[in-house]
Amino acid sequence: MSFVKFNDDNQIINFVRDHSDLFSCHSELAVEEISDGNLNYVYRVSDASGNSLIVKQAPPYIRIIGDDWPLTQDRIRIEQQSLQLTAQHCPQVVPEVYHYDSEHCVILMQDIGDHDNLRQLLIDRTELPLLAQQLGNYLAQMMFRSSSMAMESTAHKALVKTSQNPELCKISEEVYFWDPFCDHERNDVNPLLKDEAQSVWNNSELKCEVAKLKRRFMSDTEAMIHGDLHSGSVFATTDSCKIIDPEFSFCGPIGFDIGVLFANFLLNYAGQQNLPGDRCERMTYQGWLLQTLSDIWQQFSTHFASLMQTETLDPSLSEPGYQQWYLQQIWQDSLGYAGVEMTRRTIGIAHVADIMNIEDPELRADSERLSLQIANMLILQRNTLSTPKQLDDAINQLRT
Amino acid sequence: MSFVKFNDDNQIINFVRDHSDLFSCHSELAVEEISDGNLNYVYRVSDASGNSLIVKQAPPYIRIIGDDWPLTQDRIRIEQQSLQLTAQHCPQVVPEVYHYDSEHCVILMQDIGDHDNLRQLLIDRTELPLLAQQLGNYLAQMMFRSSSMAMESTAHKALVKTSQNPELCKISEEVYFWDPFCDHERNDVNPLLKDEAQSVWNNSELKCEVAKLKRRFMSDTEAMIHGDLHSGSVFATTDSCKIIDPEFSFCGPIGFDIGVLFANFLLNYAGQQNLPGDRCERMTYQGWLLQTLSDIWQQFSTHFASLMQTETLDPSLSEPGYQQWYLQQIWQDSLGYAGVEMTRRTIGIAHVADIMNIEDPELRADSERLSLQIANMLILQRNTLSTPKQLDDAINQLRT
C-alpha cells in the first residue's frame, strides 16, 4: 500500500468535501496546519461560518524527523479504534470521529479548538473544579469496560489482538524504562543535574523496581489503555474535558495511564516551585494539584469498585476481597509508573514545559531535583504509600 | 473450509504414504486407533519391520462428545506451533513433527510408544532418577526462550498473537478457576466429600486468592506455556522424557505449567496414602515425589537464573535483584496454580487415576481430603511457603 500524502491545501479540501458533509458545497474552506505532536500531520479545515474539523494524517515516518525514522502507519488505525471504543463507553471525553480512511491514513474528527491544553492550563495555574471527576470517571469506565471483567473472555482476547501496537510499545519500552535509567545517548540532562542523574543510573534497587514495572508493561493485557496520557493529551474548559492522541493505545496495565496522568500533575507541582509568579499563589496551586490527584483516585476507585461489584460478567471475579486487592494493585502500579514518567521527563529525551519554562538553570535544576526525589519515592515506596493522604504527606515532607 | 475426517484405515494409510517417506512403498501398513485424550483422533500406523508413526487429527468438535460440543480446529495449528518451538529450544523432549496438514487438521509425528505415561509410572511407584533434571531444564529453556527477555519485544508480541488460543483458554478458565470453587453442575464430588467441597465453595478468602490467580492466567502473556502439563501429558523411560499434547498452549504465566506439574506429583502423593500396596513402600515413594518436586524447582530455577544472567537481550531486565524477585514470583504462582489444579482434579470435572484407582470410597475420600488440604494450603500460603523445604515440612505436617 503506497502512502498518499496531501501535497497542498486543495487536496486536503477535496478529501474533506468527499468524506464529510459538514461544510456546504459553496462555502470557501481554509486550511491551517496545527501539527503539534511529533508524529503526525494535523490540519484544521474551516469555513467562514465557524464550522471546522480536524484532519489528522499519519505518514509512514515520524513527522518531525522524516523518512529517516520510519514508523508504522498502523498507529492511525489504533488511534481510531481507541477513539471509537472510548466514544462507546465515555463519549463526552473524545472528539467525534467523522471518518476514518485507512488508505490515506487519515482521521477526520471534531475540532475541539474551544478547549485548552491541560499542560498550559496547569502552567497558568488554572483551577478546574470538574476535572478530577471527569478524568476519574473516564479512567474507570474505559479500564473496566475494556477488561476481561466486563468483556467475554474470547472477545477480550480479540481486543488484545486488534489493539496490539508493537512498534509504538517498543518506543515506550525504551523511552520510559530504559534510557532514563542508564547513561543513554538519547538522554537530555541539565548539566547541573549530572550527579542526581548519575545516582539514578547507579541505583540498583531503583532499577530493579523499574524492571518489575517494565515486565508488567510488556506482558499484562488487563485493559485497553491510552498509552500516552500526559497533560498534553488532555484538553479542557471549565465544563468539559477531552482526551486525544491515543495512538500509543494497547491492552496493558491500568496503572500505566493513571500513573502517567499523576506524574504530569506532579511534574507541574515540581515546576510551580520555581515558575515565575507570586509564591503564595504557586503554593496554593501546588495544594490544588495534590488535591486533584487525590480526587482523581477517589473518583476512579469508587466508580471502578462499583462497576466491579455490579457489572463483572464472571462471577468468579466478583469476590469483595478481590475488589479491594485489585484496586490496591492499581494504586501501587500507578505510583510506580508515575515515578517512571517523572524520571523520563526530567532526565530522559522528552522534557515538559512545566519545568523547561523555568529560565534560570539553577532554579530549573531545583525543580528537576524535586521531581527526581518524588519519582524515586514513588518507585521505591509504592507498596507502603497506600493512600493519597500518605502520598501527600510524603510529598509535602520532601519539600520542607 | 470443510473438514475431511478419515473414514477408514485406507484413507489414513494413503495420507501417510503421501506425506511421509518413513515406510517403503511395498510394505504393508497397519492402523491402530489409540485415541486416549478427550479431544482428538490418534492413530498409530506401523509396518512389519517395526517402523511406526502417529497420526493425530483434530475434528471440529470434542471427540468423546461429538458434534454437540464444537471446538475450534485451530488447536491443531497451536499444537504444531508449540511442538515446533519446543523442538527448536529443547528438541529431546518432544516427538518430532514429520508433517503438518492444515486442511486435514493432521499432524504426523514420531511414535514415542517406547515411553510410558508418567501418570501410570507414578501410580506404579516408579522412581525416575533423571526426570527432575529433564523437566526442570525443559521448563527453564522453554519459558525463558519464549519470553520477552530472550525475544525482541516485537517478535514476542507476534508470538503472543499467533499463539492466542481463546477457545481452549476459555475451557481452562472455567474448569480450573470457576467450576471447582462453586457448586457447579459440571463438578463430580465423592458423596463422602460433600462437606469439604462445601467448605471450599464457602471460603471467601480462598476464592479471592483464586480470582487473583485467574486474573493473571487471563492477562499475563509472559511466556509460551504448554497449558495442560499434567502427568498424562508426559511420557518417560529411565533415560528419556517426552512432553506431548500442547493444544492448550498460549502465552501465559510461567507458574501455571510448573504448578500443574507440581499438582500432579502431589495428587499422586495423596493417592499413595491409600493406593494398594506395602505401606512402607508407599511412604518411601511419597518421599521421592516431594524430593522430585523440589529437584524440579531446583533445576528449573538454577537454569532459568543462569539464562536470565547471561542471555537477557534487554539490559534493563538484567538487574540481579530482579532475577531473585522474578523467580520468587514464579514460585508463588506455581504453588497457587498447583492448588487450583489439585482442587479441580479432586472435586471438579476431571479426576485423576492416581486417586480414582482407590476402590474403597472411604479410603478414596481420605486421599481426596488430603488433596484438598494440600490444595488449600498451597493457595492460601503461597506467599509464605518460600522454599521447597518449607513446602515439604508443611505437607508432612498435614499428614501427621
Model confidence pLDDT, tens digit, residues B381-395: 999 999 999 999 999
Residue A132: predicted pLDDT = 98
Pick B319's closest partner by Cβ from A148, A166, A207. Answer: A207
Residue A64, pLDDT > 90, answer no
Q: Is B50 on the interface with A (CB under 8 A)?
A: no
**ipTM for the assembly:** 0.95
The answer to whether the Cβ–Cβ distance between A208 and B315 falls below 8 Å is no
Residue A19, pLDDT > 70, answer yes
Residue B400: predicted pLDDT = 62
Residue B1: predicted pLDDT = 52
Per the model's pLDDT, the better-predicted residue between A130 and A69 turns out to be A130
Pick B220's closest partner by Cβ from A166, A173, A219. Answer: A219
- Residues of chain A found within 8 Å of residue B151, distances taken between Cβ atoms: none
Please write the tens of the pLDDT for every residue from B50-106.
Answer: 999 999 999 999 988 888 889 999 999 999 999 999 999 999 999 999 999 999 999
Burial (CB < 10 A; 0-12, 13-18, 19+), residue A276, is: exposed
Q: Are B138 and B90 in contact (CB under 8 A)?
A: yes
The answer to whether the Cβ–Cβ distance between B169 and A157 falls below 8 Å is yes
Q: Are A12 and A45 in contact (CB under 8 A)?
A: yes
- Residues of chain B found within 8 Å of residue A178, distances taken between Cβ atoms: 314-316
CA of A17 vs chain B CAs: smallest distance (Å) = 38
Nearest-angstrom CA–CA distance, B400 and B339 = 20
Question: Cα B83–B20–B226 angle (5° rounding)?
Answer: 10
Q: A208: Cβ–Cβ under 8 A, 6 or more apart, which residues?
A: B319, B320, B321, B322, B325
- The SS3 assignment for B85 reads helix
Nearest-angstrom CA–CA distance, B327 and B308 = 10
Give B45-53 contacts, CB < 8 A, sequence gap 24+.
B45/B12, B45/B13, B45/B16, B46/B111, B47/B23, B51/B22, B51/B23, B51/B27, B52/B111, B52/B113, B53/B16, B53/B20, B53/B22, B53/B98, B53/B108, B53/B109, B53/B110, B53/B111
The answer to whether the Cβ–Cβ distance between A166 and B158 falls below 8 Å is yes
Q: A314: Cβ–Cβ under 8 A, 6 or more apart, which residues?
A: A148, A149, A153, B178
Q: Is B181 on the interface with A (CB under 8 A)?
A: yes
Residue A373, pLDDT > 80, answer yes
Q: Are B43 and B34 in contact (CB under 8 A)?
A: yes
The answer to whether the Cβ–Cβ distance between B317 and A215 falls below 8 Å is yes
Pick A212's closest partner by Cβ from B170, B314, B325. Answer: B325
Q: Are A57 and A104 in contact (CB under 8 A)?
A: yes
Rg (CA), chain A: 21
Residue A400: predicted pLDDT = 63
Residue A187, pLDDT > 60, answer yes
What average pLDDT does range A272-286 have in this prediction? 96
Q: Are A186 and A179 in contact (CB under 8 A)?
A: yes
Q: B92: Cβ–Cβ under 8 A, 6 or more apart, which residues?
A: B134, B240
The answer to whether the Cβ–Cβ distance between B319 and A221 falls below 8 Å is no
Pick A154's closest partner by Cβ from B166, B182, B208. Answer: B166
CA of B177 vs chain A CAs: smallest distance (Å) = 7
- CATH topology (fold) of B9-110: Phosphorylase Kinase; domain 1 (3.30.200)
Sheet containing strand A234-236, strands side by side = A116-117, A234-236, A241-243
Residue identified by cell 499428614 is B399
Q: Count of CB atoms within 10 A of residue B17's CB?
A: 15
Residue B97: predicted pLDDT = 97
- Residues of chain B found within 8 Å of residue A167, distances taken between Cβ atoms: 154
Q: Is B176 on the interface with A (CB under 8 A)?
A: no
Nearest-angstrom CA–CA distance, B384 and A163 = 37
What average pLDDT does range A273-281 have in this prediction? 96
- Residues of chain B found within 8 Å of residue A164, distances taken between Cβ atoms: 157, 160-161
On the CB side of B6, CA atoms within 13 Å amount to 22
- The SS3 assignment for B230 reads coil
Q: Is A70 on the interface with B (CB under 8 A)?
A: no
Q: Are B95 and B246 in contact (CB under 8 A)?
A: no
- Residues of chain B found within 8 Å of residue A315, distances taken between Cβ atoms: 178, 182
Nearest Cα to Cα of residue B176 among B399, B302, B347 = B347
> What CATH superfamily classification does A116-399 receive?
Aminoglycoside phosphotransferase (APH), C-terminal lobe (3.90.1200.10)
The answer to whether the Cβ–Cβ distance between B173 and A164 falls below 8 Å is no
The answer to whether the Cβ–Cβ distance between A319 and B166 falls below 8 Å is no
Nearest-angstrom CA–CA distance, B123 and B127 = 11
Question: How many beta-carbon pairs under 8 angstroms link A with B?
Answer: 107
Residue A171 CA, chain-centre distance (Å), reads: 14
Question: Cα A287–A291–A293 angle (5° rounding)?
Answer: 120
The answer to whether the Cβ–Cβ distance between B208 and A167 falls below 8 Å is no
Residue A389, pLDDT > 60, answer yes
Q: Is B208 on the interface with A (CB under 8 A)?
A: yes
Q: Is A72 left (phi over 0), alpha (psi -120 to 50) or beta?
A: beta
Residue A355, pLDDT > 90, answer yes
CA of B202 vs chain A CAs: smallest distance (Å) = 11
CA of A250 vs chain B CAs: smallest distance (Å) = 12
CA of A170 vs chain B CAs: smallest distance (Å) = 7
- Residues of chain B found within 8 Å of residue A225, distances taken between Cβ atoms: none
For chain A, the three-class secondary structure string (H helix, E strand, C coil) is CCCCCCCCHHHHHHHHHHHCCCCCCCCCCEEEECCCCCCCEEEEEECCCCCEEEEEECCCEECCCEEEEECCCHHHHHHHHHHHHHHHHCHHHCCCEEEEECCCCEEEEECCCCCEEHHHHHHCCCCCCCHHHHHHHHHHHHHHHCCCCCCCHHHHHHHHHHCCCHHHHHHHHHHHHCHHHCCCCCCCCCHHHHHHHHHHHHCHHHHHHHHHHHHHHHHECCEEECCCCCHHHEEECCCCEEECCHHHCEEECHHHHHHHHHHHHHHHHHHHCCCCCCHHHHHHHHHHHHHHHHHHHHHHHHHHHHHHHHHCCCHHHCCHHHHHHHHHHHHHHHHHHHHHHHHHHHHCCCCCHHHHCCCCHHHHHHHHHHHHHHHHHHHHCCCCCCCHHHHHHHHHHHHC
Q: Is B320 on the interface with A (CB under 8 A)?
A: yes
Pick B181's closest partner by Cβ from A167, A218, A316. Answer: A316
Nearest-angstrom CA–CA distance, A385 and A335 = 9
Pick B319's closest partner by Cβ from A148, A169, A208. Answer: A208
What mean pLDDT value characterizes chain A? Answer: 95
CA of A201 vs chain B CAs: smallest distance (Å) = 11
Name the pLDDT band for A65 (thresholds 50, 70, 90).
confident
Residue spans of the domains in chain B: they are 9-110, 116-399
What average pLDDT does range A144-168 have in this prediction? 97
Name the pLDDT band for A320 (thresholds 50, 70, 90).
confident
Residue A7: predicted pLDDT = 87
Residue A199: predicted pLDDT = 98
Beta bridge partners, A377, equal: none
The ranges of chain B with pLDDT < 70 are 1-2, 400
Q: A11: Cβ–Cβ under 8 A, 6 or more apart, which residues?
A: none
Residue A110: predicted pLDDT = 97
